[in-house]
Amino acid sequence: MFERAGINYLILEKATTIRALGSSLGLDASSLPVMEQLGLLEDFYQASKPVRHFNFYNEGVKPIGMIDFSDLQEIGGYPAIILDRPAFYNVLLKNIPKEKIKYNKRVLTITQDADGATAICSDGSAYLSSIIIGADGAYSAVRQNIYKSLKAKGKLSSNDAKPLGYNQHCL
């Protein structure tokens, strides 16, 4: 994927194997251009279903609203699609060379100096890079290390210092 842009990369995966768990994912004009640049767009189209609209219901399953997505392709150049998380992972995994994923690599801390940033894992291994991207959830080790650094410099915003809230329910 990143090979197309000449970017050398390594994925540090904390799990011992990839487990495709979780709910469905929606992709649209905000994310599909990136998938196209990575050469994944057709694979995502094949693994997904188009989303034409969302219906909203109250607790009594009475309809309370609808969002129409039928004109998204005309407006943004890409349709809205939905796919389950296993299909999403399968598209990614079939396009990532196996040697680019290191399993059982839980990132604990990140240090930064003039040479770059170093991800230090729970097994003691360390990986130096010019860029580290955290993609392990809302409370990722990368995010927590950035927050710690910002807080020490007095630059962490009050909103980022608050725990993430969860105030929605899906039926």
Domain boundary among 59, 79, 97: 97
Domain boundary among 97, 119, 147: 97
- Cα–Cα distance for residue pair 118/84, rounded to 1 Å: 33
Question: Same domain for 11 and 36?
Answer: no
Q: What is the mean pLDDT of residues 58-66?
A: 94
Question: Same domain for 65 and 89?
Answer: yes
Question: Same domain for 91 and 119?
Answer: no
Q: Is the pLDDT of residue 19 over 80?
A: no
- Cα–Cα distance for residue pair 85/18, rounded to 1 Å: 11
Check residue 67 and give its pLDDT: 92
Question: Same domain for 123 and 156?
Answer: yes
DSSP 3-state assignment of 163? Answer: coil
CA 115, chain centre distance (Å): 27
**What band does 102 get if pLDDT is binned at 50, 70 and 90?**
very high
Asked whether residue 77 is assigned to any structural domain, the reply reads yes
Check residue 169 and give its pLDDT: 58
Asked whether residue 81 is assigned to any structural domain, the reply reads yes
Domain boundary among 97, 117, 140: 97
pTM given for the model: 0.72
Number of domain units in the chain: 2
Q: What is the pLDDT of the chain when averaged over all its residues?
A: 89
Question: Same domain for 30 and 79?
Answer: yes
- Cα–Cα distance for residue pair 85/82, rounded to 1 Å: 10
Asked whether residue 11 is assigned to any structural domain, the reply reads yes
User: Domain of 90?
Assistant: 24-97
Q: Is the pLDDT of residue 59 over 60?
A: yes
Asked whether residue 55 is assigned to any structural domain, the reply reads yes
